Chain A
Amino acid sequence: MTTKVRIKYEKKGQLRFLSHLEVKRVLERAVKRAGMALEYSHGFNPRPKMIYGTASSVGLASEAEFVDLVLTQPQSPVEVIKRLNRALPPDIKATVAMELPPGAKPVMAIAAASRYRLSCRGSSPDAIGEALAKLAGQAGYVISRQKLDRVKHIDVGPMILDYEPPHQAGSDVELDICIKDTTEGSAKPREVIEALNAFFGLDVDLVMAVRTAVLTKKNEKLISVL
């Protein structure tokens, strides 16, 4: 009988520059080093069964990344966190673990939005707040994303679900923003800033973006996963 444990972990410091694939390998090796009894896939090239949450882009720090582990025997979530953290590099850290009920859907399938904390420079909190008020929810502010040889057009406004008024925090302007996370696509924090600069005449420099939560819909309300 296998059990599934959902892990919430953070990714910060220089390790925010790891790609999703690189993070996966870090976790896979940590699980091995931690000596955890994971279920393996069959075939010529068996891999531990681990189900990852939505990929976060290179450079984005996060306090809300997810991975589900399929264990061959039940283990207390506290023990799982302890063992994992002993095997992980310091800038990736498991923070919460929870045993999943049978049939629980993966994070990827239930994620509806992500909340971010952005630190910016170059414009005042008021100027950013005014521009955001015009952008949020409004269609027509389209920016393009180059991916290899394809160009994707992203209508940024409708992706912004919600935000807190920006405020000064030391030398940076801090801003909390909630962006839609759908299977059809999403906007990156960097792209929101890009739209502010392109359509509202700002000159904002994004210093750091942190994902603070992944949200899922429950009874028509958005709540945090774990």
Chain B
Amino acid sequence: MDDLSFKIEKLLGQVSKPARYINSEINAIHKDWDTAWLKTVLIYPDIYDVGLPNLGLQILYGIINSREGWVAERAYLPWLDMIELMRAGDVPLFSLESQRPLMDFDVIGITLQHELTYSNIVHILSLAGIPRFSVDRDSSHPLIIGGGPAAFNPEPVADFFDAFIIGEAEDAIIEFLSVCEASAGSRQQLLEDLVKIPGVYIPSFYQPVYKDGRFAGIKKVNDQAPDRVTKRVIDDLDRIDIPTRPIIPYIDVVHDRSSVEVMRGCTRGCRFCQAGMIYRPLRERSPAKVKDAVESIIETGGYDEISLSSLSSADYSPIEALLEELSPLMVKDHVTISLPSLRVDSFSIELAARLSQVRKSGLTLAPEAGTQRLRDIINKGVTDDDIEAAATKIFTQGWQKLKLYFMIGLPGETQEDIIGIANIARKIRHLAFDILPKKQHSRIAIIVSVSNFAPKPNTPFQWFGCNSMDELLSKQDLLKDELRLSHVKFKWHDAEQSMFEAALARGDRRLGLVIADCADNGQILDAWSDYFSYQRWGEAFARAGYDIEQLATAGLADDDALPWAHIDCGVSVDWLLEEKSRAMTGEATPDCREECSGCGLCPDLGLKNMVGECR
């Protein structure tokens, strides 16, 4: 055992959940280090429990490791007790598989899932002993690259990274690493070679311009770089291998199940939803491939639950036929098949009812807003009747527990819309008591979960600000009063966390210093409400001359420069603006399956919407 492994083993006896740091999980890939020539480590910037289930990293892990001479290992942010011991004992952050310091790798890939992981990135680099800012690194350091949904506005963390891959990276990662593999020159030379790959964004090749303290645009400072970096898209999902050897964790992770991605993209076009925009167009996997994958996962994994994942799996066209084929497996192998998101309609409920032949837990519906008027503004094509029909079906099928998702602080929202949320909850509670037999009444539970709207880049609502803190709190208070009902539980999302997310989500490159400063002052694990500190963030923003609430609530003008304008997600800005004005008149935009609304993505990227005709 080498020195570092020995040190790590010593620490394992002193920390909580030592199994987070053990590398012999079933299906983990251990490639020979000495004969490999390109070493990468993939990082989810939160603890193992949260990071391990991430499907995107599992896909890339498989792709990279399948190439001869290339290694992909994993690393996560250690829990606080481990961090403290590592700092005290001079143990650098290490990869799981070969237990090597991150400095020993050629490329470090970090996924950006959401803004609440940004402070963790600073800690990861510092635990690894790697300079956090790309300007302070050279070819003696690993190349730090990022990707994932939050990379569609990479600016707040741009200074930490050498490069980003925008969009779906299955093809791009191979092109990218092939360039790294062949490179022998300086870091600058490598970046100039990398920038020729479509979808690769090199932040140091662009310089933001500020005017009167406001972001005013971005200037290219290297001729090799494109004016706009267009996202990568996989034209045909059946071309991409489904990870069928999922790593089986020893500890209880957040999603203790395996997933098979049945499709990418969503055709519904909810105007607040970033995923619905950046993952366009819709692509479905063939059911035969999905079935094969489910079968091999049962064989190689031993998981109890396999999720058929996508943004809206009930919309997967062959879903019924697929479930028909999978149902014998569920009985034979004692496996539960689950759909992560349900539509608000009775078709979805019928699917769910069919799946629960093995296990019956609660269901979740997401009407998102309390009135028809507001649902029209956000383009959530769901009516009061749909909600009622779905709930009726749920209780008729025997479920006693139902969770409802709503959002408050949406553009155009009035007091009536907040009361509308309570009205829906009351109506559903009523239905439950009417439909379920008396002896089950004590078990009825309606959970009303309410989050706060935060504008996301690349959505029609990117120009709107959040509600102020006072507005959000008073809306939450109103709901607390309205929902004081037996068998109804109201859960709300922390307004401070939403405010912070919104400030970062639309932030420009100047926020990098704020993030580093706040992390240096001890901020870490923002996704954990016990550790998120609005006050500490507020102080860090203030030291740089900003105010979180002001950034979060600011409305942007149509012609304001956007910090992410040089990142092209395929959907045109003109269409986003049209969508914004349609929102204000409550005009619906059809599902792309029914009619193309001309977002511009398919023709521009040379793609075709698999299920509808493009304009």
Interface residues of A (CB under 8 A from B): 13-15, 17-19, 21-22, 25-26, 28-33, 35, 40, 44-46, 48, 58-59, 87, 89-91
Contact = CB atoms under 8 A, between A and B. Distances in A.
Given A25-B250, A90-B24, 5 more contacts: A15-B250, A17-B12, A32-B334, A59-B12, A59-B18
Contact of A58 (B18, B26, B359): B18
A14 B302 contact: no
Contacts of B25: 89
B302 A87 contact: yes
Given A14-B24, A17-B12, A33-B301, A45 B250 contact: no
B205 interface: no
A21 B19 CA distance: 12
Nearest to B298: A32
Contacts of A26: 250
Contacts of A90: 24
Contact of A18 (B250, B302, B303, B359): B250
Nearest to B361: A44
A36 B210 CA distance: 66
14 contacts: A14-B22, A21-B252, A22-B251, A25-B250, A25-B252, A28-B302, A29-B248, A29-B301, A29-B303, A30-B302, A32-B298, A32-B334, A33-B302, A87-B26
Contact of A15 (B22, B251, B298, B360): B22
Contacts of B13: 17, 59
A33 B359 contact: no
A2 B298 CA distance: 24
B535 to A, nearest CB: 30
B100 to A, nearest CB: 16
Which of B9, B250, B303, B333 has the most CB atoms of chain A within a 10 A radius of its CB?
B250
Given A46-B334, A87-B302, A17 B19 contact: yes
**Which 8 pairs from chain A and chain B are nearest by CB?**
A29-B302, A17-B18, A32-B302, A33-B302, A14-B22, A17-B12, A22-B250, A89-B24
B302 A40 contact: no
Nearest to B17: A19
B527 to A, nearest CB: 24
A48 B304 CA distance: 11
A44 B358 CA distance: 6
B88 to A, nearest CB: 18
Contacts, number: 62
B296 to A, nearest CB: 11
Contacts of A32: 298, 302, 333-334
Contacts of B251: 22
A4 B1 CA distance: 40
A225 B24 CA distance: 29
Contacts of B560: none
Contacts of A44: 359-360
Interface string B274-315: 000000000000000000000000111111000000000000
Contacts of A33: 26, 299-302
A40 B22 CA distance: 30
Nearest to A22: B250
Interface string B132-160: 00000000000000000000000000000
A223 to B, nearest CB: 32
Of A32, A58, A90, the most chain B CB neighbours within 10 A belong to A32
Interface in B320-357: 333-334
A31 B298 CA distance: 12
A189 to B, nearest CB: 13
Nearest to B13: A59
Contacts of A40: 334
B363 to A, nearest CB: 14
Contact of B22 (A17, A28, A87): A17
A48 B333 CA distance: 11
A32 to B, nearest CB: 4
Contacts of A89: 24-26
B415 to A, nearest CB: 42
B360 A14 contact: no
A25 B303 CA distance: 10
B24 A15 contact: yes
